[in-house]
Structure 1
Amino acid sequence: MRILNARRLGGRTAFSALVLLVTTAILAGCGTVEGKPEAGELDIRKLSVGKYPIDPLDVRALYIHSPSSGLDLAIGRLADAVVTGPDVDQSFSHGVLSEAMDVSVGLGLVLSHTAEPVAERNNMMFGYTASASTKPISDVRDPESSLVFSPFGHMKPAADATSFNITVLQFPDQQRALTAAEQMEAADFDVAPDQNQRVTLDKEPAAKAHWRPGVPTMGTSMAHGQYVVTVFVQQPNPEVVSLKSLTEKILAAQLLLLDQLPALSPRDMLRLDYDPQAMLRRTLHPVTFPYPHAENEVTRTPRGFLHNVEDQAKWKTLLDDNGVDSTATTRNGALLLRARDDKAAAALWSGITSAATTPTDKPSDVPDTACEETGNNPKPHRIDQEEAWDRSDRFVCTLHYNRYVARVAGTQLADVSQRAAAQYALLVTSQYT
């Protein structure tokens, strides 16, 4: 309300009249309300959160940039630009393997032992690898998997499935990327030079590919700017035409994403933001300091998130239908998904919880929460399982608040209930701090 200058109303008399008029109007608008007033929000002080913090991490601790943290953030950024199965074709419905890669770890998981020294010799900076299949892949390790090249982490695809692995590595400059791509292909080819045959991809003539007649697989390496992309495809029948076609389709999708991802310098990596979407501050974080990790403490786009789930087709539908634009996981903490709006978050929560096969008791004091007993304790194929948010996922609780859906897990239901309460409280407090 705008208060007029008393002089314009004729001095003290006019001003007194104005005050009387305003006071009368205010009193006229007031009434007597019986009963005790209540807050619109749940009183989170009454929630049973146990030892878990309910203040955002950036209120409790300061993130300090470092080369090692920058490396993990860079790998997480790259994961957002590595194709998933559905990016290539809807038939690739199952994620198989994903792994952060640097010169100290990860290379030997999928790259041939002949390619490892090539990457190191050309000063590979970091990378990311992911696989997808048209059918689930057994958690059982394949003892017959080649020690030369194990694109599915020594797991064995179904005989009637089509599967692929894609690995993207960044190098310091374009020349070293080109050299690395050529040397990797040559090293792989020379493992069996009398049996392998070189293959030219019509749509990507710069790529270097080879296959072995009678074997239903093909390997390809190519440089793209400062990146090297390697692709391994496997299908039921040893048909070189279809192997070439699938490889070209994967490369087309992957190169388009890399065109939108400028390569990073060491200085760029050092300056990467720990929490650019303000997601990690909203995610349950039992540890008392920020600890970036490319797999277990990082924010990701929906694409990056899909690398870490098995049923990619189901999750992609849930994410797309509800406008999820960002995700976060914290070490030993929680998973957080940000939907389009409150209504979409409720729909996402329903979509996730309706698939539960063994519902169990939920915490009575936490609204919009559902819990289940998964029977997986832990998932035997999960890399870094001991640090993942669902590392001991016998019990999982899913809750939603405003735009956010969160999941917490643990071995004991009482502990998971406290985690759910703390996560709910954190979503409330992070609005105001």
Structure 2
Amino acid sequence: MITVSVFRFPSDTAASDAAREIDAVDAARNNENVSVKIDNHPDAHSHWRPTVPSMASTSAHGPFVINIYTEQRSPDQHSLSDSIEKVLDKQIPRLDEFSPTPVDKMNDLVADPDDLLTRVVMQYPAPIGTPDVNDAVVYTDRGYLLLAGAKSETSQRFEKTGVDAVAMLQGSILARTRDDEAAKTYVDDIVAANLDRNSESTPPSGVPDVKCISLTNPSPLDEKPYNCIVRYRRFVVVVNSAQEVDVQQKAAAQYALLANSQ
């Protein structure tokens, strides 16, 4: 297991001080902890207990602090430190590619720059006030894969079909693929990947490019066993419901919204 956290500080100096202090406080929690050096990353502050199969490391890179915690099956210092080294080898270049938003410009960031959420049918009235980030949110492809646990089949599907953004609204999920053909492939892949527990069901009458599936043996815990996958041009939206007629109506409404969106 590897857990990576990145923190942003006001300055490089603040980040450097924080990295050192974070490691010192964590290491002081047990007097068996000993310092460890990470090859190719001499500025990383790291420690472990020789009898415990885990290691922690904290590094400063510019205004950022990278905190890594790794566990393995056996207390092998070389293997644990090698894992941390590999993470830093990947994480540092990603930070170099990133341009931090100035703190005074945070409120100017646009949550949905391409208006993807407006293309997703609402299943119930939106609450008044600040939107729930778990209920209405747009991710980049990489952000969504991190959220979903980066399952290999999802990652492969995104790469194959060129998904570059995902919008989630009230349980429905929209994916924007590379082009029309890629969207067709995306739908076919979803259906094929879920037929082990599902069977194809009846799509809404008169609505093109919709495929529906339902759980073959739903349990009481399966609150929404009916799903329809709606495709329009490069967009694919998955809607779900507890009732077949309801999911068919949602799918029809979703197709109409996509077809009439600019």
State TM-score, norm by structure 1. Answer: 0.55
Is 2:204 the counterpart of 1:364?
yes
Tell whether the 8 Å contact from 1:283 to 1:426 is kept in structure 2 after alignment. Answer: yes
Question: Equivalent residue of 2:227, what SS?
Answer: strand
User: Could you tell which deviates more after superposition, 285-294 or 394-403?
Assistant: 285-294
Tell whether the 8 Å contact from 2:15 to 2:65 is kept in structure 1 after alignment. Answer: yes
Structure 1 residues 287 and 200: CA distance shift in structure 2, 3 A: farther
Q: Which has the higher Rg, Structure 1 or Structure 2?
A: 1
Structure 1 residues 393 and 304: CA distance shift in structure 2, 3 A: farther
Q: Which has the higher contact order (CA 8 A, sep 6+)?
A: 1
The aligned residue for residue 348 of structure 1 is 186
Counterparts of residues 73-92 of structure 1 (less than 5 Å): none
4+ aligned runs moved over 6 Å, structure 1: 376-379
CA distance in 1, matches of 2:253, 2:56: 48
The aligned residue for residue 384 of structure 1 is none
CA distance in 2, matches of 1:362, 1:309: 28
Which of 137, 141, 148 is residue 298 of structure 1 equivalent to? Answer: 137
Is 2:236 the counterpart of 1:405?
yes
Tell whether the 8 Å contact from 2:144 to 2:166 is kept in structure 1 after alignment. Answer: yes
Question: Equivalent residue of 1:200, what SS?
Answer: strand
Tell whether the 8 Å contact from 2:35 to 2:48 is kept in structure 1 after alignment. Answer: yes
Tell whether the 8 Å contact from 1:337 to 1:404 is kept in structure 2 after alignment. Answer: yes
Question: Equivalent residue of 1:317, what SS?
Answer: helix
For structure 1, list consecutive stretches of 5 or more residues without a partner in the other structure.
1-162, 380-391
Structure 1 residues 417 and 179: CA distance shift in structure 2, 3 A: farther
Pick the structure with more strand per residue: 2
The aligned residue for residue 109 of structure 2 is 272
Cα root mean square deviation, aligned: 2.3
For structure 2, list consecutive stretches of 5 or more residues without a partner in the other structure.
none
CA distance in 2, matches of 1:415, 1:292: 25
Question: Equivalent residue of 1:182, what SS?
Answer: helix
The aligned residue for residue 63 of structure 2 is 226
The aligned residue for residue 95 of structure 2 is 258
CA distance in 2, matches of 1:188, 1:283: 45
CA distance in 2, matches of 1:425, 1:368: 12
CA distance in 1, matches of 2:236, 2:166: 10
User: Could you tell which deviates more after superposition, 369-378 or 175-184?
Assistant: 369-378
State TM-score, norm by structure 2. Answer: 0.87
CA distance in 2, matches of 1:231, 1:297: 30
Structure 1 residues 358 and 311: CA distance shift in structure 2, 3 A: farther
1:403 Cα offset (Å): 0.3
1:182 Cα offset (Å): 1.8
Question: For each residue in 1:238-272, what CA deviation from the matched residue of structure 2 results, as whole angstroms up to 9, or x when unmatched?
Answer: 21111111111112211211112222233221000
- Amino acid corresponding to residue 340 of structure 1 in structure 2: R
